[in-house]
Chains A and B, each alone.
Chain A
Amino acid sequence: MAAHPLDHVLRHNTWANVTLLEFCRALDPAMLEAKAIGTYGTLYGTLQHVIGGEQWYVQLLTGEVVGPGRVRRDERRSLDDLIATAKAIGARALTVVANDDVTRSVEMNEGRKSTVGVVLAQLVHHGNEHRTQATTILGANGIEPPPVSAWGYGRAAGISEAAE
């Protein structure tokens, strides 16, 4: 059976999250408090926001809090915990697209409604946006960031020759 059209897009998203989180786990922990002007916040806060946001998007689609527990802005989670949550979210997102309808209406907060497709587009946008902010923080603080593009994902998966 052919893969779902969003399969590589979502697999790249999960791979990039895990790659970035594992890279940051190996840094001096003090670096997690680094910032760069014009971005979201600290490196750690940005990473936690990426995963917390995706957890909420998948909850909108499934009604489930995926992973070892809800990621809360005011609660510090280990990077190991965020990695486990990122993997669980990625697996659940793949089952969503395999079985759901992008035009289906979903309830959001404050009585608003959206569609499955818009929530998925937001999940992909949000991950790329905040990973970029994280790599901007790394670069601004003299650390060469890990490659998190889909070219990198394709090479890591052994299915593509493309490079930057």
Chain B
Amino acid sequence: MSDLSVPIDYDNWATEKIAQFCAALSPEQRALTTPGTMGTIEATLIHLVAAKERYAAALQGKAPPDDAVRETTTKDVGQVVDRAKKLSEWFTGFAAGGLDLDRIIERRGADGGTQRMPMGILIAQFLHHGNEHRAQLGSIFGANGIEPPHYSAFNWGHELGKIS
């Protein structure tokens, strides 16, 4: 196990958990939001997984697959849950391998230009991004009286039996 496997495995667990939780909400609940966050529950969830698609693709040096979750086209929350699971499988294998964190990754930016960064920066961003948008979802749940799922890393450790 590489040391990066721990936070990456946690991200996989937390993203799948919150995707399943959101999918079980009603469409009306998924349309809820709260000020200061990026948008509705559904839009935030789709963005969370769509970005994870792009991080995985950048790490592989290719474009996201045809069935990738995208902010512009994805409507089916069930697809989001399925892709979150597949992305978990990919990231688990990725994290278990030998990682050259200094390797330069190329990524297309929002302006269409090519951005270059060490792999270590992309992974730090991937971990930040997941936590950030799960936190926004937690705020939306709380603001709208929805009891949120427990998705901290301590919850994860407890579920895995790593916290006794």
CA distance A163 to B113 in the complex (A): 11
Residue B152 interfacial (CB < 8 Å): yes
A121 touches B153 (CB 8 A): yes
Say whether B131 faces chain A, with CB atoms less than 8 Å apart. yes
User: Which one, B22-30, B61-69, B78-86, B133-141, is touching chain A?
Assistant: B133-141
Interface flag for B6 (CB, 8 Å):
yes
Indicate whether A121 sits within 8 Å of B134 (C-beta atoms), given known contacts A115-B157, A136-B37: no
User: A2, A103, A137, A163: which contacts B115 (Cβ < 8 A)?
Assistant: A163
A108 to B153, CA, bound (A): 14
Chain B residue with minimal CB distance to A138?
B36
Centre residue among A7, A126, A132 by max chain B CB count within 10 A: A132
Q: Which of A112, A113, A128, A149 neighbours the largest number of chain B CB atoms within 10 Å of its CB?
A: A128
Whether A112 and B116, one on each chain, are in contact in the complex, defined by CB atoms closer than 8 angstroms, is no
> What separation, in Å, do the CA atoms of A2 and B4 have in the docked complex?
14
User: When A8-B120, A9-B123 are in contact, do A124 and B142 touch as well, CB less than 8 Å?
Assistant: no
Which residues of chain A are within 8 angstroms of B35 by Cβ–Cβ distance?
36-37, 136, 139-140
Docked Cα-Cα span, A5 to B7, in Å, equals 11
Cβ of B34 within 8 Å of any chain A Cβ, yes or no, is: yes
Within 8 Å CB of A89, what residues of B? none
Contacts A114-B157, A118-B153, A138-B36: A150 and B124 contacting too (C-beta < 8 A)?
Answer: yes
10 contacts between A and B (CB under 8 A): A4-B3, A8-B120, A11-B124, A120-B6, A122-B153, A128-B127, A149-B128, A150-B127, A159-B121, A162-B122
- A-B pairs, top 10 by smallest CB distance, nearest first, are A38-B143, A128-B131, A140-B36, A117-B6, A118-B157, A139-B36, A160-B117, A136-B36, A38-B142, A150-B125
